Structure 1
Amino acid sequence: MSYKKLAKSFLDSANVSIGDTVKVEKEEVFYEGILLDRSEDADDEYIVLKLDSGYNLGINILNAKIELIKKGEKPKIQYDSLEIEKNSNKMDISIISTGGTVSSIIDYKTGAVHPAFTADDLLRANPELLDLANYEVKALYNILSENMRPEYWIEAANSIANEISDGAEGVVVAHGTDTMHYTSAALSFIIDTPVPIVVTGAQRSSDRPSTDAYLNLFNSVGAAKSDIADVTVCMHEGLDDNYCNLHKGTKVRKMHTSRRDTFRSINSEPIARLKDSKIVKINSNITYNKRNSKELNLMDDLESKTAIIKSFPGIQSEIIDYHIDKGYKGMVIEGTGLGHTPDYMIDSIKRANEENIAVVMTSQCIYGKINMNVYSTGRKLINANVISGRDMIPEVAYVKLCWALGQSDDLKEVEKIMNTNIAGELSEKSSLKHFLN
């Protein structure tokens, strides 16, 4: 137990252990719930209860009283193995975990949360999945998604390719939401796939009443069984629990810190809508690759010495010079408006080009496409050989530049790759109907 000193003495006074149901009185207010464990470095004056509502509550124990209501069950160290025979009438789906909220399950007896790293764990947490497919579930990482790195994208792509080579008819990648759209873009460029690859996650943990983990995973398996053989992201469509949207992996972005419908298609529309693990609508305006229309192929060379630089009032050209001097091979500039930086930065950008460093321009506006032909600064940037990112969001342009530099170190070839629509990342037209209302 992580409770020590004051907290431990407080709990010991009533013979209370983790998993027990208790009542705590504090300033004439009563709280009843299951005692949860807590982190080792937590404040010693607090305990944590899981309330009947499903939410966790920290309570300061100073001047509080505690009463044991019911002893809880002891946590199991290991579950007995499930023996589930493959059903020849069901498709074979692989689930690869990289970490994140969607990859965890809750033991409501003890409040403990642990990664669903095995098929047994996953199916215990979501038994309805058994009705949909046969499964192989593997843990690739157990990391917070902000710790993702380009080399991890390569490992993930190879793990997915191995699953497909071994007979997987669809792959679901469980991922933390913060950098999910980077990973979906990377997989889109690295892998030519004959089967669906669906990236999913959760905004709310599985121990909360408002969790989105189950619906996102359930519909992601449905998408992995579909005929849409692209890299996609499957997440909540709205704030209720009815539908999920399937977004193209290069046209999606996290737009809110905590809302369950945070993922939106940018400068595009979702490919499809899902309900109850079935596709209920396919968008006829969006093109996609169909199952078995491509041979499995990996192009997994990346250049990690690539950066995103955000333009802002007062930015200094030394930022560009710093990246040149540190040996960076490419830079994506998140410019203002139609794709601009202050004109005093142009000499440093020219220097980057002279030293064979690719510079790509995008816009911090997110929606719409850049056009460096409209204003004089933009035309100067064109003359400095800045590559247009067109309607790619900065994150996708960054990932694509990492990938393009992995394919070639010739700037002309890199520019050609950046201006070629590889995985649906470039649109011919920008429509106002795609703007987020």
Structure 2
Amino acid sequence: MQAEEYDKVRIESEGVSYEGTLMPSQTDKVVLKLKNGYNIGIKRESASITLLEKKEEKIPKPVLIPVKKQKDLPSISILSTGGTIASRIDYRTGAVTSQFSAEDILSAIPQLEGIANYNCRMIYNILSENMRPSYWVELARAVHEEIKNGADGIIITHGTDTMTYTAAALSFMIKTPVPIVLVGSQRSADRPSSDNAMNAVCAAAVATSDIAEICVVMHGSTSDDFCYIHRGTRVRKMHTSRRDAFQSINSGPIGHVEYPSREIKTISTYARQGENKLALHDKLEPKCALIKYAAGASGESLLFHSGSGYKGIVIEGTGLGHVSTEWVPLIRNATDAGIPVVMTSQCINGRVCDRVYDTGRDILKAGAIEGEDMLPEVALVKLMWVLGQTSDLEKVRELMHTSIAGEIMQSISL
């Protein structure tokens, strides 16, 4: 009997034997999904295929466990946006796809039961690389609505690649009296090394705590021992695939959650439940750009954005916040045209100071705004938010130098 797609097979090629699931292929390679979940390609002309087991005619769908409400537990809203924490491997294609709803997450992570009562809502179902400012606005409005309707805390499931952008956007758009926690996972639920369950449980612990801030909760180490609680304007994904990829930059985390005990240990000060009155400021100016300077780069990119309808520009400069002297007149042209230009640094730690060297002083004279110690992506999102509140350039400068959501730390001498 001839092997077909999705059958279990053994393939021998050049003296090596492989076993796995035969996958669809549009190339001259035979694609095999190994038992460890990875796909390999084998030259078709050298592959000897032996059928081991026919595919199942029907792939069973996961059974959803009914969510039971319990008295005396806080009410948490889970807002699903997609991402790996809400995904599984589609074994017909070998791809990781977002196909869990919020109810699916509860069924997949039974450890969440007993921590809170959950109201689940799908806001959108996208991979995080498809995130955009209009989605941040939609999400902020949904969060605001859930809190107005009595939620004691919010959990937002989100893909990790752009989670820091969303966390920053929500930090500027929402004043919250309750915890708002973004959580994701680096590895899908199908993998033995998945971090989705632990991250979700730790997120639920924070969502039921007194930490009334927008924060990101993710693995703190490569082991299953604790998660960090990162402030939403201070966190960056620092590794492509490690489970402890997220780190607080230029500031320590708010604290951490022990696992599996769910005990929270705080490290720094934070807003507590009830200190802030709920408020929504959801206007953004999406036409802002982030430009990274590189040695020898021409100013064409800056010139293009200045003349293409962009309302604000963030430059990721070198060191203390520098670009080539050839860029200085272009910065002046942009600021003279009413386009605010914010200077940040591509260094991971430290703050911008354009008063140390001549180039920096020239950049300031050209009208640039120092981005203090903000991460470039946070400065970009903040500039979008600031321009959504005002078009007055002096007010823009003032707000960019004002810490709105912990994005700027008090300056210390160099």
- Asked if Structure 1 and Structure 2 have the same fold, meaning a TM-score greater than 0.5 normalized by the shorter chain, the answer is yes
Q: Report SS of the residue matched to 2:193.
A: coil
Amino acid at match of 1:176: G
Q: How far did residue 58 of structure 1 move?
A: 2.7
Change over 3 Å in CA distance of 1:430–1:279 after alignment to 2: farther
User: Which stretch shows the higher mean deviation, 24-33 or 221-230?
Assistant: 24-33
Q: Is the 2:85–2:158 Cα contact (8 Å) retained in structure 1? A: yes
Question: What's the counterpart of residue 263 of structure 2?
Answer: 279
Partner Cα distance (1:374, 1:141) in 2: 47
Question: What's the counterpart of residue 40 of structure 2?
Answer: 58
Give 1:18-417 correspondences, 5 Å limit. Answer: 18=6, 21-33=8-20, 35=21, 42-43=26-27, 45-51=29-35, 54-60=36-42, 62-69=46-53, 72=56, 74-76=58-60, 82-105=65-88, 115=98, 117-274=100-257, 275-276=259-260, 278-283=262-267, 286-417=268-399
Partner Cα distance (1:130, 1:324) in 2: 52
Amino acid at match of 1:281: K
Q: Is the 1:26–1:65 Cα contact (8 Å) retained in structure 2? A: no
Q: How far did residue 211 of structure 1 move?
A: 1.7
Change over 3 Å in CA distance of 1:117–1:161 after alignment to 2: farther
Could you give the per-residue CA deviations for residues 202-260 of structure 1, whole angstroms, max 9, x where no partner exists? 22222222222222122111111111111101111111121111100000111112222
Q: Report SS of the residue matched to 1:172.
A: strand
Q: Is the 1:221–1:277 Cα contact (8 Å) retained in structure 2? A: no
Change over 3 Å in CA distance of 1:142–1:334 after alignment to 2: same
Q: Is the 2:98–2:127 Cα contact (8 Å) retained in structure 1? A: no
5+ residue gaps, structure 2, are: none
Q: Is the 1:92–1:134 Cα contact (8 Å) retained in structure 2? A: yes
2:2 to 3, 6, 13: 13
Partner Cα distance (1:156, 1:46) in 2: 42
Amino acid at match of 1:244: C
Change over 3 Å in CA distance of 1:144–1:371 after alignment to 2: same
Amino acid at match of 1:221: A
Partner Cα distance (1:108, 1:212) in 2: 20
Q: Is the 1:36–1:111 Cα contact (8 Å) retained in structure 2? A: no
Q: Report SS of the residue matched to 2:285.
A: coil
Does residue 425 of structure 1 match 2:414?
no
Q: Report SS of the residue matched to 1:146.
A: helix
Change over 3 Å in CA distance of 1:118–1:204 after alignment to 2: closer
Amino acid at match of 1:48: L
Amino acid at match of 1:66: T
Partner Cα distance (1:132, 1:235) in 2: 18
Q: How far did residue 325 of structure 1 move?
A: 1.1
Q: Report SS of the residue matched to 1:96.
A: strand
Partner Cα distance (1:117, 1:290) in 2: 32
Change over 3 Å in CA distance of 1:235–1:337 after alignment to 2: same
Change over 3 Å in CA distance of 1:431–1:248 after alignment to 2: farther
Partner Cα distance (1:160, 1:119) in 2: 15
Aligned residues: 411
Q: How far did residue 366 of structure 1 move?
A: 2.1
Could you give the per-residue CA deviations for residues 39-83 of structure 1, whole angstroms, max 9, x where no partner exists? xx64364233341xx33333535432223247647213x556543
Q: How far did residue 21 of structure 1 move?
A: 4.6
Q: Is the 1:21–1:72 Cα contact (8 Å) retained in structure 2? A: no
Amino acid at match of 1:361: M
Q: Is the 1:49–1:56 Cα contact (8 Å) retained in structure 2? A: yes
Q: Is the 2:136–2:169 Cα contact (8 Å) retained in structure 1? A: yes
Q: Report SS of the residue matched to 1:58.
A: strand
Change over 3 Å in CA distance of 1:72–1:50 after alignment to 2: farther
Partner Cα distance (1:219, 1:122) in 2: 14
User: Which stretch shows the higher mean deviation, 128-137 or 117-126?
Assistant: 117-126
Q: Percent identity?
A: 47
Amino acid at match of 2:238: M
Change over 3 Å in CA distance of 1:132–1:27 after alignment to 2: farther
Q: Report SS of the residue matched to 2:404.
A: coil
Partner Cα distance (2:77, 2:229) in 1: 18
Partner Cα distance (2:181, 2:220) in 1: 15
Q: How far did residue 401 of structure 1 move?
A: 0.5
Change over 3 Å in CA distance of 1:358–1:169 after alignment to 2: same
Amino acid at match of 1:407: Q
Partner Cα distance (1:91, 1:37) in 2: 45
Q: How far did residue 317 of structure 1 move?
A: 3.0
Q: Report SS of the residue matched to 2:330.
A: helix
Amino acid at match of 2:2: S
Partner Cα distance (1:256, 1:221) in 2: 24
Report the TM-score when normalising by structure 2. 0.91
Partner Cα distance (2:160, 2:298) in 1: 32
Q: Report SS of the residue matched to 1:405.
A: helix
Partner Cα distance (1:266, 1:226) in 2: 23
Q: Report SS of the residue matched to 1:131.
A: coil
Q: How far did residue 430 of structure 1 move?
A: 5.5
Change over 3 Å in CA distance of 1:391–1:110 after alignment to 2: closer
